[in-house]
Each structure stands twice: as structure tokens, then as C-alpha cells.
Homo-oligomer: A and B are copies of this chain.
Amino acid sequence: MPALLNTADPDFKAGFAAMLAAKREDADDVGAAVADIIDEVRARGDAALVALTARFDRTDLTAETLRFSETEIDAACARVDPAERAALELAAGRIRAYHARQMPEDALWTDASGAQLGWRWTPVTAAGLYVPGGQASYPSSVLMNAIPARVAGVERLVVCVPTPGGAVNPLVLLACRLAGVDEVWRIGGAQAIAAMAHGTQTMRPVDKITGPGNAYVAAAKRQVFGRVGIDSIAGPSEVLVIAEGAQNPEWLALDLLAQAEHDADAQAILMTPDQGLARAVAAEVERILPQLPRAAIAGASWQAHGTIIITRDLAEAAALSNRIAPEHLELCVDDAEGLAAQIRHAGAIFLGAWTPEATGDYVSGPNHVLPTARSARFSSGLSVLDFLKRSTLSRLTPAALAAIGPAAVTLAMSEGLPAHARSVQARLDDLPPLPRP
């Protein structure tokens, strides 16, 4: 049975706080092992990658075969079923169109003092994308990471994907092709992160690394952060479905189970003022669960983390949602836009019951890399901005310096930085004759 909370109960506050505070993931401390792997890759380069790949992925490579050849990628792409190719192409096109709208604009203006001010966006030169191997090797994640980088104008886009036991997912390679990835390497784990951050004899380093991974990959990303940029470290996934009225309980149950089937740490929450709907959805979950191929995983998630919360009304549901700050938020209510206006913290909002969360995982267009574990309070999903950075611009004229320079001199002196003050004062002392304002 999932947890059942009712905001009318006297112990609701404690139960809700316990749910918020619950850790759904055991953090393995693999920091020392990862530091050793990074040192080994820095010291020995390709030779370390070959040795570590033989050890961890049971795959024998050479410095020459660490990277997929174009011929190998072509051959894998040719093996993809036409319906799957068409679906991936539809997804790629829609993700590209959505992210193209995110491109920010440069700015330059002249203010009242005569100072020219502004900023300019430029792309990261080289980005690396980690793609897990095995069961969690998702072509959709390749699209969601690589396409924003390409839209941003990243020049060189590298993918690392392990091939444990030699297993290659042709859809992943096709997704790389469709997204315009330049290099695909068959390496994984902390060694792949180390190679992308530091480079080897055959791989040039990148400037930013994104993409999901296991505890070793996450620890490696933390350790190379600073030398390169990284995206956020993803935790277990979660969905909150807020529902009322004449909803189809089967649809809502499937949305909860779609989240639960990700892994046993995933969390699915239903919030509704309608006790009858809550009972109906819970019954549908129990009915459908045994039919699912991933019933064991989905069942474990639903038992351990599944939660149904009865609220007084939708306004209360919105307020509780803002405390959860869910990664995915489905609003299956009559006035979804009205309810959305009360939402302050959520990674992705799905409006209305015709917008199941799974469409956002694949084809709607917005990114599916989203803030987990309440981090939507302070962070956003992946976007083109993750592959861009901004240089601020300023140009003072002599008149502008005359207007604002003396304040800089005053502040520099008050902060005990006299050379700062002198660098401005020397110019003020040499001002050309200025037109009277």
C-alpha cells in the first residue's frame, strides 16, 4: 500500500514533512575509487582507457578502436527498424524546434551617462555527453542532451557510451547521428568522464560534460567540476499528478506507474480533493500493476514511495506542490492554466489529461532532463543556456567616465583598494575638454 495522507488529519503536517525529508537513494561513497580512476586516465591516457574498459566492461579495445568508426555507426543505423527511425526523427525535429526558441539575444545600449553597456552570448566550444550503457541506454536522452548543445552552436560534440560485453544499442548511435554528434566513444564510467575532462592521446578534452550516469559517473562529474562545467547531478525521478473531477482513473494510474517503472527509487504522488477519485486511481494501480513487464520495479517504487494526498481543495494542492517542487507535474483538472498560475516550483508542467508525462519524455519538445529531489526550488531543466555563456560588455566615453568615475574612486578607497582608485583617477586627471552637458 502506498502512503495515504489527508490534509484534514491532525498528523498530516508530520507525515508530509517526513515524505519531504525522506531520502530515496543510498549514496554509495565511491569517491576514493573514482579519484584513482581519474589519476590513472590522466597518467596513462588511452592505455588506461583500454585497461579499465577490459576490466569493467569486459570489452577488449585498442587505442584505435576506442572510438566508433563512421562505418560502424552507418552499419548500426542501417539496422534500426524504420518505424523506430521515424519516431526518433519526429522527436529530434520537435526537440530542435522547441530549443531553437530558447536562444537568448545579445544586447547593447547607451545609457544616460554615455556608457555603452550590454552582453554577448557565445557557445561552449566542445561538449561531452555521457550515455549510460545496458538497460538504461536511452536514445531519447541522447537527443535531449545533444540537440540543445547543437542549437547553442557547440562546435564539437562528443558522446561516450559503454558497450558492456560488446553490446551496442543501434538506436543510441542513430540518435547521435540525428543530433549531429561528432565523435562516439565506446567507453563508460568514471574513466569516460576523466577522458572527456582531461583528454588523452586520441581524445581532445571538452569544456562541459552533461548526461546521467551511475554513482561512479556522478562522483567523477563532481571531481572534474571546475576544470570543466557539468550539468546537475540527477537523483531518482518523480511525478506529482494533481487531479479533480471526471478524470479517467486508468489514465492517471498509468501515469503514476510510468514513473514507478523507472526504478525502485522513483516516486509517484497523486494529490486530489476527491476521495472517490483517489480510491478509483489506487484500485486501478493495483489492477494494472501485475500486468506490467516491469511489475517488480514499479511495485517496489509504489509500495515504498507512492503517496496519495487528499487535499481540501486545489489551492491547497498547489501550495503543497510548491513545497514538493516536483520534477514532473501533471495538472489533470478542469482549469489547468488557472492552477498552473499558482505553481512556483516545478521542472515541467503538463496541462490537462491529454498531456501524459510520457509525451514529455519523448516527443513534445521540452527537455526531459529536469531538476529532481526538490531542486526545482532553485534550478531548471537542461536548455540551450547550459551550452552558452555570456560576456558582459562595457565602453565608457571620457564623458561617461567623468560622470561615474569619481564614485568608483570613492568606493575603491573605502574598500582599501587604492590601486583600483588610482587606475580611474589617472584617467580623470587626463580627461579631454568635455562639451558642457
Contacts and interface: CB of A to CB of B under 8 A. Distances in A.
A379 interface: yes
A389 B395 contact: no
A97 B113 CA distance: 12
A315 interface: no
A408 B375 contact: no
Interface stretch (A42-50, A56-64, A188-196, A363-371): A363-371
A314 to B, nearest CB: 17
A415 interface: yes
Given A258-B420, A354-B398, A358-B412, A208 B364 contact: no
A290 interface: no
A336 B406 CA distance: 24
Interface in A95-116: 97-98, 101-102, 104, 107, 109, 111, 115-116
Nearest to A90: B407
Given A362-B412, A395-B336, A251 B423 contact: yes
Interface stretch (A4-12, A80-88, A158-166): A80-88
A401 B359 contact: yes
Interface residues of A, number: 123
A117 B251 CA distance: 22
Given A97-B111, A111-B97, A254-B426, A392 B396 contact: no
A254 B135 CA distance: 60
A319 interface: no
A375 B226 contact: yes
A180 interface: no
Query: How many identical subunits does the complex contain?
Result: 2
Given A84-B414, A251-B426, A401-B354, A389 B394 contact: no
Interface string A239-273: 00000000010110011011011100000000000
B257 A359 contact: no
A69 interface: no
B250 A426 contact: yes
Interface in A208-242: 208, 226, 228-229, 233
Interface string A388-403: 0111111111101100
13 contacts: A88-B411, A101-B109, A228-B378, A260-B419, A298-B419, A348-B394, A350-B395, A351-B394, A352-B395, A352-B396, A359-B394, A362-B412, A364-B396
Interface of A: 83-84, 86-88, 90-91, 94, 97-98, 101-102, 104, 107, 109, 111, 115-117, 119-120, 122, 124-125, 135, 138-140, 171, 207-208, 226, 228-229, 233, 248, 250-251, 254-255, 257-258, 260-262, 288, 292-294, 298, 329, 336, 340, 343-367, 371, 373, 375-381, 383, 385, 389-398, 400-401, 404-408, 410-412, 414-424, 426-427, 430
Shortest 8 CB-CB distances between A and B: which pairs? A229-B378, A366-B392, A351-B395, A254-B423, A87-B407, A87-B410, A358-B420, A380-B390
